[in-house]
Amino acid sequence: METKEKFIHRDLSWLEFNYRVLEEAKDERNPLLERTKFLAIFTGNLDEFFMVRMSGVKKLLASGYNKRDQFGFYPQEVFAEIKTRSDEMVKKFYEVYEGSVKQALEAQKIFIKKPADLNPEQKKFAQRFFDTTLYPITTPLAVDPGHPFPVLPSRTIAFAVDIERNDKRHLAIIPVPKAVPRLLKLPAEGDEAVYVLTDYLIKENLASFFKGYKIQEASLFRVLRDSELEVDEGFAPDLLKALEKELKKRPSAKSVYLQMEKGNPELVAVLCNGIDFPQEEVVFITSDLDLTFLYDLSASVDKPHLHYPSFTPARGPYENIFDKIKEEDFIVHLPFQSFLPTSDFITAAAKDPDVLAIKMTLYRTNEDSAIIKALMEAAKRRKQVTVVVEIKARFEEEKNIQWSRELEVAGCHVIYGIAGLKIHSKMALVVRKEEGRIRRYVHLSTGNYNEKTAHVYTDIGFFTVNDDFARDIADVFNVITGYSLPSPWKRVISSPHDLRKYFFDLIDKEMAAQQEHKNGSIVAKMNSLEDAQIIEKLYAASNAGVKIKLLVRGICSLVPGLPGLSENIEVRSIVGRFLEHSRIFYFNNNGNPRCFLSSADWMTRNFDRRIELLFEITKPEIKGHLQFILDTYFKDTRKARLLRANHHYGPIKKEGETFEAQEYFINHYTR
């Protein structure tokens, strides 16, 4: 069987995932303002795809690289496929926005209007906003021999303006200011909500910027640039400074995607020349550019019935988080259960006079983070605070560098990651003096220490005072912060050393159990599956008769249901109200199940280029609950999509009432 038949290319699989996001925007069963958010999510996802994945393919093409990748594709084939597919998706995306979504918004008296369609009072309000706010902060930029084409950072929206004076034509660029939201709410009657985009206001008032010139044409455009940072970590004496230097190059990096309003060919050619972008790859749009402004729309409209019903995450009763953890190991299933035990763990440790040290990893965190503040307070109280900040976390680099500086100033010992590896594991260790002895408290998680995403990402956090866990996590921190070599640990398995092999051994045991007892079974939930080696191992297990059920939210390069290869493998994806982010792995183990949580997906980068942790849950009650979580997800007939052998996803066909796992969990934990 050819490689292309055995694998779905990771980039094409990712585009399929984003199409599932678009399906949520199309789905009229979802609340209307949640549908608009799915359109915004689709936009942000596609931007990142172009800035990272498309840019990588273009680099390969520019270098003359001409070898097949692990999925059997040459770079030219990958580029052609993703260009065709993404163009089709953008077209369908705008059909949804301009069609059913806008119609539904207007039916609910929510309008995004052009200046010409405003009533006199609204026009006056919009013009006053332009005169007093927009005009002073908007800067027209000439393009001529004395003024080179301006540097436009990635995601810039701007006007290309063709102006004329004394029979001479000139080009000017007007970036749409980012200092104010693009969506301006206007006065309206009754329960109407009326908005206008700042883009429209600038276009309406272009003559204000070019007095004495005649405007021939103006086209709005948007550019995306390569956002991958290239730091030779092995030769960078100071990783932080090297990364800061690379970040400064981002605004002028190679352009990888260009959207614009239809303009005359001459204007398009001049713009493409200035941006250094192939004219034949321009994507022309007849609607609004960059629909991420729909986040603001959703937040601004005061119509609760157009949103998901709110709920309060369940919070188990406890007076003291340390007493709670000492009492028994427990898990927290976010966002259905509260993130408070996690933030309390660090904030209480900061204030507790008996706590001697705090160690934790930070990959992505949020603005105004209570955890960051607690770590600073702990350091000021003279506790030993060690924070491993992964400054190479994509699109979080500047924020993480800022946190690092502030933590250092507060007195924390900050580690800026490890050369050649990303520290993606999520762990915290609190060392406390109790009754003449030292006790270590551990928190491990499938997701980040981020209070904001904890409301919208499904993750699982695990709390324990188990000595074996405590010793292992202390050793992991020593490996990261010092020169200690990884040793055989009792309760955790890590990448890049042992993780892939450990999973292979677990799969081999299921194959042996299937051969001897006919009960080989694997159930796994993750974000992405694209590592060719583990896919081949799963194919071997399927051929041996092992029943395999996979819940993979995003990329899945495995092809299920192929005769003689993957007949015993089922793959589902759930895209819903919350982003499915937890990683759970369940092996039947001849009727004595083993269950694991992890920070790692089954991706090559997680196995080979990141520090990740896998840890086994042995407490029967927790293990049983994790099995219940997996079983519940596989009952979903509302949001789940089934991956078929033709590489495409389709709905779960079932007669009668539908079942939605995420909605069930909300009710289950809060009843």
CB 441 within 8 A of CB 258: no
Contacts of residue 341, Cβ cutoff 8 Å, sequence gap at least 6: 315, 316, 318, 321, 324, 332, 461, 463
Asked whether residue 114 is assigned to any structural domain, the reply reads: no
Q: Whole-angstrom Cα distance, residue 291 to residue 182?
A: 10
Q: Whole-angstrom Cα distance, residue 169 to residue 144?
A: 10
620 preceded by a cis bond (ω within 30 of 0): no
Q: Whole-angstrom Cα distance, residue 649 to residue 645?
A: 9
Q: What pLDDT was estimated at residue 231?
A: 42
The beta-carbon contacts of 26-33 under 8 Å, at least 24 apart in sequence, are: 26/96, 26/100, 28/100, 28/104, 31/305, 31/306, 31/307, 31/308, 32/101, 32/104, 32/105, 32/108, 32/306, 33/297, 33/298, 33/301, 33/303, 33/306, 33/307
Q: Whole-angstrom Cα distance, residue 39 to residue 593?
A: 41
**Domain count for the chain:** 4
Residue 316 scores a pLDDT above 90? no
93/141 same-domain check? no
Of the listed ranges 226-230, 247-251, 584-588, the one predicted with least confidence: 247-251
* CA separation, residue 308 to residues 311, 350, 418, 641, 653 (Å): 9, 36, 41, 21, 25
Average pLDDT, the chain: 92
187/68 same-domain check? no
> Which whole number is the average pLDDT over 175-191?
95
Which CATH number do you get for residue 134?
3.30.1840.10
> Which whole number is the average pLDDT over 263-274?
90
Q: pLDDT digit string (tens) for 14-49? A: 999 999 999 999 999 999 999 999 999 999 999 999
Q: What pLDDT was estimated at residue 246?
A: 54
CB 453 within 8 A of CB 364: yes
Tell me whether residue 413 is one of the annotated catalytic residues: no
CB 520 within 8 A of CB 547: yes
Tokens read off for 492: 């955790």
372/473 same-domain check? yes
534/612 same-domain check? yes
Tokens read off for 181: 């939201």
Catalytic residue among 424, 443, 647, 668: 424
> Which whole number is the average pLDDT over 179-198?
96
Asked whether residue 406 is assigned to any structural domain, the reply reads: yes
Side chain identity at residue 234, one-letter code: G
**Cα pseudo-dihedral 61, 65, 67, 71, rounded to 10:** -40
Which CATH number do you get for residue 437?
3.30.870.10
The candidate with the shortest Cα–Cα distance to 45, out of 30, 25, 62, is 25
335 preceded by a cis bond (ω within 30 of 0): yes
What would the 3-class secondary structure string for 146-200 be? CECCCCCCCCEEEEEEEEEECCEEEEEEEECCCCCCCEEEECCCCCCEEEEEHHH
* CA separation, residue 448 to residues 52, 225, 283, 371, 457 (Å): 21, 27, 36, 11, 10
Residue 234 scores a pLDDT above 50? no
> Which whole number is the average pLDDT over 124-143?
96
573/648 same-domain check? yes
Residues of the domain holding 64: 1-107
Q: What pLDDT was estimated at residue 238?
A: 52
Q: Which residue do the tokens 């109200």 mark?
A: 577
Q: What pLDDT was estimated at residue 236?
A: 42
Final residue in a domain of this structure, among 52, 76, 107: 107
Q: Whole-angstrom Cα distance, residue 295 to residue 41?
A: 9
Q: pLDDT digit string (tens) for 620-669? A: 999 999 999 999 999 999 999 999 999 999 999 877 789 999 999 999 99
Q: Whole-angstrom Cα distance, residue 493 to residue 499?
A: 6
Q: pLDDT digit string (tens) for 77-133? A: 999 999 999 999 999 999 999 999 999 999 999 999 999 999 999 999 999 999 999
Angle at 85 between CA 84 and CA 87, to 5 degrees: 65
Percent of the chain beyond pLDDT 90? 80
484/503 same-domain check? no
Dihedral sign computed on CA atoms, order 82, 88, 93, 94: positive
Angle at 27 between CA 22 and CA 29, to 5 degrees: 150
388/485 same-domain check? yes
Q: What pLDDT was estimated at residue 235?
A: 39
Final residue in a domain of this structure, among 272, 307, 342: 307
Contacts of residue 178, Cβ cutoff 8 Å, sequence gap at least 6: none
Asked whether residue 399 is assigned to any structural domain, the reply reads: yes
Residue 204 scores a pLDDT above 80? yes
Q: Whole-angstrom Cα distance, residue 415 to residue 72?
A: 39
Asked whether residue 368 is assigned to any structural domain, the reply reads: yes
Residue 243 scores a pLDDT above 80? no
CA 568 from centre of chain: 30
Percent of the chain beyond pLDDT 70? 94
Residue 668: Cβ within 10 Å count: 15
Final residue in a domain of this structure, among 490, 505, 536: 490
> Between residues 595 and 365, which one has the greater pLDDT?
595
Q: Which residue do the tokens 């955790």 mark?
A: 492
190/260 same-domain check? yes
Alpha helices in 352-423 (DSSP H): 370-380, 397-410
> Which whole number is the average pLDDT over 160-180?
93
What would the 3-class secondary structure string for 555-610 be? CECECCCCCCCCCCEEEEEECCCCEECCCEEEECCCCCCEEEEECCCECHHHHHCE
Contacts of residue 609, Cβ cutoff 8 Å, sequence gap at least 6: 420, 421, 422, 496
Q: What pLDDT was estimated at residue 485?
A: 60
Band the pLDDT of 245: cuts 50, 70, 90.
low
325/457 same-domain check? yes
481/503 same-domain check? no
Q: What pLDDT was estimated at residue 394?
A: 59
Q: What pLDDT was estimated at residue 233?
A: 40
399/535 same-domain check? no
Asked whether residue 542 is assigned to any structural domain, the reply reads: yes
Q: pLDDT digit string (tens) for 486-529? A: 667 889 999 988 999 999 999 999 999 999 999 999 999 999 99
Asked whether residue 200 is assigned to any structural domain, the reply reads: yes
Q: What pLDDT was estimated at residue 363?
A: 82
Q: What pLDDT was estimated at residue 253?
A: 80
> Which whole number is the average pLDDT over 242-251?
56
26/159 same-domain check? no
> Between residues 316 and 11, which one has the greater pLDDT?
11
The candidate with the shortest Cα–Cα distance to 439, out of 427, 431, 448, is 431
Side chain identity at residue 317, one-letter code: P
Asked whether residue 116 is assigned to any structural domain, the reply reads: no
Stated length of the chain = 671
Asked whether residue 312 is assigned to any structural domain, the reply reads: no
Band the pLDDT of 250: cuts 50, 70, 90.
low
Residue 237 scores a pLDDT above 50? no
